[in-house]
Structure 1
Amino acid sequence: MEQRTDFLTFSTADLDAARAFYRDGLGWTPLLDVPGEIVFFQVGHGLVLGLFDAEKFAEDLGVRDAPIRGVTLSHNVEGPEAVRAAVERAVAAGGTVLKEPQEAAFGGYHAHVADPNGLVWEIAHNPAWSVQPDGTVRLGLIG
């Protein structure tokens, strides 16, 4: 299998709250929105985030319950002020701050915010992270 991910799809207990958070609060444009079932957002070069109604998600998997556990999505920004601004916008859209903006162990600056369904986002500034013109990610530690 080719080393690539095309979709990140998460079970979502409240699809309407998730839609409002991402579309109305963060200003993202849905790629496809199927009310009562799933909403997709393109989040990168060839990468789509899917938020799937929890009951429909479990049906699709053929299981009774499919909770989210141990997942963090990350969004990198240009500096500490941009981290603070993104956290403020996420909170205004119904998010909950789990970790206030602060210096990070990796040497940058970051915060953690949960969306209305508990999906955790790390909003970070890491000067050692970059994306090359060909899409290759360079990731390092600062210091």
Structure 2
Amino acid sequence: MDPRLSLVTLGVTDLERSVAFYRDGLKWPTGYKAGDGVAFFKTWGTVLALYPIDQLAEELPDPDFKPVAGPCGITLAHNVRERNEVDVALTDAVAAGATIRKPAKDTFWGGYSGYFADPDGYLWEVAWGAFPIGEDGHLILP
């Protein structure tokens, strides 16, 4: 199997609210129109999808497993090229309706990062300093 993560789907409790957060608040591009049922956001790497969590539960193979929106042992990350972009991104996220969960500060790994939660509680780290970012927007790993 190729080492590729093509799409990340977040189960959301209110699709329109979540679309507004990412599209209108964070200014992420999407072709979503009201009534589409799922929203796809084109990023510089993996596609982000928003899907109603109750419909996501219907698609799962185990009828006893019920997905829960919000933090569930994973975080999503948005890495930036310059240190000051962390604070700008966190400010933009708050203006879009996010909640700061951890203010930006210097990290043990020599970088600078902070966390926000989207309207469903999914945690996003905004980070600088861990890896350089290439011209195509992808992280450059050692």
Q: What TM bracket, shorter-length normalisation?
A: 0.7 to 0.9
Matched residue, 2:57: 58
Q: Percent identity?
A: 36
- Between the two proteins, the alignment pairs up a number of residues equal to 138
Q: What amino acid sits opposite 1:61 in the alignment?
A: L
Question: 1:87-124: per-residue Cα shift (whole Å, max 9, x none)?
Answer: 11101111000000111121110000000001111001
What TM-score comes out, normalization by structure 1 length?
0.84
Compared with structure 1, are the counterparts of its residues 9 and 96 closer, same or farther at alpha carbon in structure 2 (3 Å cutoff)?
same
Are residues 1:93 and 2:96 paired? yes
DSSP 3-state at the match of 1:20: helix
What TM-score comes out, normalization by structure 2 length?
0.85
Question: 1:22-42: per-residue Cα shift (whole Å, max 9, x none)?
Answer: 001011111445637211101
Superposition deviation, residue 134 in structure 1: 8.2
Structure 1 Cα separation of the partners of residues 58 and 68 of structure 2? 13
More strand by share: 1
Matched residue, 1:4: 4
Q: What amino acid sits opposite 2:87 in the alignment?
A: R
Structure 1 Cα separation of the partners of residues 84 and 135 of structure 2? 25
Among candidates 94, 106, 115, match of residue 103 of structure 1: 106
Superposition deviation, residue 80 in structure 1: 2.7
Among candidates 113, 117, 120, match of residue 114 of structure 1: 117
Structure 1 unaligned residues grouped into runs of 5+: none
Structure 2 unaligned residues grouped into runs of 5+: none
Question: 1:74-97: per-residue Cα shift (whole Å, max 9, x none)?
Answer: 111122321111111101111000
Equivalent residues of 2:44, 2:138 under 8 A apart: no
